[in-house]
Amino acid sequence: MKYTAFHSFHEAMGAKMVEFAGYHMPIQYEGLIKEHLAVRNQLGVFDVSHMGEVWVKGPKAESFVQWVTTNDVSSLFDGKVQYSCFPNGKGGIVDDLLVYRFDAETYLLVINAANIDKDWNWLVKNAEEKGLVIGKELINASDDIAQLAIQGPLALKAMQKLTSEPIEGMEYYTFKKLEFAGVKDVILSTTGYTGSGGCEIYINNEDAAKVWKAVFEAGAEFGVKPIGLGARDTLRLEMGFCLYGNDIDDTTSPIEAGLGWITKFTDTNNFIDKELFLKQKEEGVSRRLRAFELIDKGIPRQHYEICDVNGKPIGEVTSGTMGPAVQKGIGMGYIQSAYTKFGTEVYIKIRDRLLKAVVVKLPFYKEA
């Protein structure tokens, strides 16, 4: 079991701890609904130090990242972040990730905690084929970096107190390297997994305690709360953000998953599985990931069957919950293409009952 640099704070604050991706992580503090609504209305702090970080450096960095990810890396500029995914060479997804461009020869890839070893092995395999030096041009820094996500509509206002650099006006999916809470070379990015604004910060493990205390002091007047993994999941689902292992995996293509917007078929963007994904885009796929809202009362869960009016299975739920902010049963799942038009009525099979639902556009949660 691994422990993040913030582990002692979680225990001191009474968090309920669980094993997640090999780490001892907080699932909740005061309760999922309270924490969820705190992020939607004020701000909350997540320990996301379990996420992985891989540096790609050197003259081949841009072409390598372009090859292993589906999005168009050439569209990035210094200080810009991009959402993307690693295709697996068989029409599936190794992982989804964030790509940070520092300069033409320096990129940071932020990957999912549960996939660190798998992603690293995949990147090493491809890096060796492309002639990158492992340990010098491809570097796994996952164990050296602590990460906090400060999320919510008041997050940047609170965090502005900890840096002289202007951050409140930063564009979505950009980042700065700055002094933060008296710590130099902190990476602060306007990214997150909640859909309620805010930032994510990357620091060295040895600075973690100092930064944690400063973040909570700065956020005190705004009602800051620590937030667990439980609310992280309900927040991302209300926005329709994919979770690897649920909504995407090695058997799902980005075209099926509704991630065509991060799969760029430009002449200069050559990537693994490009021809296969282009064929899927042009010819269509037999199933698609779609969002649905329950009309009948109930809570959809992963692996529940999605059925037609006669009870015939037409798909499967990949993620589902009762949305604390939208106050209804919501979910996503792969559905046969004939049933994916928005407004189509489908049924979720819950304990031999067919509960009526409707296929909807994302996100479920829309700010007032």
| Tokens read off for 143 | 């164990």
In a domain, 258, yes or no: no
For residues 37 and 155, membership in a common domain is answered with yes
345: phi then psi, degrees, rounded to nearest 5? -85, 130
Q: Using CA atoms, how far apart are residues 90 and 94, in angstroms rounded to an integer?
A: 10
In a domain, 249, yes or no: no
- 114: domain CATH number is 3.30.70.1400
- 234: domain CATH number is 3.30.1360.120
Q: Using CA atoms, how far apart are residues 199 and 157, in angstroms rounded to an integer?
A: 11
Q: Using CA atoms, how far apart are residues 258 and 289, in angstroms rounded to an integer?
A: 6
For residues 119 and 205, membership in a common domain is answered with no
For residue 99, what are the β-bridge partners? 82, 109
Parent domain of 156: 7-50+144-238
Of the residues 117, 140, 163, the one at which a domain ends: 140
In a domain, 340, yes or no: yes
For residues 86 and 194, membership in a common domain is answered with no
- 329: domain CATH number is 2.40.30.110
Q: How many CB atoms lie within 10 A of CB 13?
A: 13
Which long-range contacts does 95-104 make (Cβ < 8 Å, 24+ apart)? 95/119, 95/244, 96/242, 96/244, 96/248, 96/259, 97/69, 98/191, 99/65, 99/69, 99/71, 99/73, 100/175, 100/187, 100/189, 101/73, 101/76, 101/77, 102/78, 102/177, 103/78, 104/61, 104/62
pLDDT tens digits for 44-66? 999 999 999 999 999 999 999 99
In a domain, 252, yes or no: no
Of the residues 140, 156, 179, the one at which a domain ends: 140
For residues 39 and 113, membership in a common domain is answered with no
7: phi then psi, degrees, rounded to nearest 5? -55, -45
In a domain, 262, yes or no: no
Q: Using CA atoms, how far apart are residues 211 and 152, in angstroms rounded to an integer?
A: 18
For residues 291 and 185, membership in a common domain is answered with no
pLDDT tens digits for 96-109? 999 999 999 999 99
pLDDT > 90? residue 1 = yes
* Triad 6, 7, 13: Cα angle to 5°: 95
pLDDT value of position 367: 75
The domain tally of the chain equals 3
For residues 134 and 68, membership in a common domain is answered with yes
In a domain, 196, yes or no: yes
In a domain, 63, yes or no: yes
pLDDT tens digits for 290-329? 999 999 999 999 999 999 999 999 999 999 999 999 999 9
Does 166 sit behind a cis peptide bond, omega within 30 degrees of 0 on the bond before it?
A: no
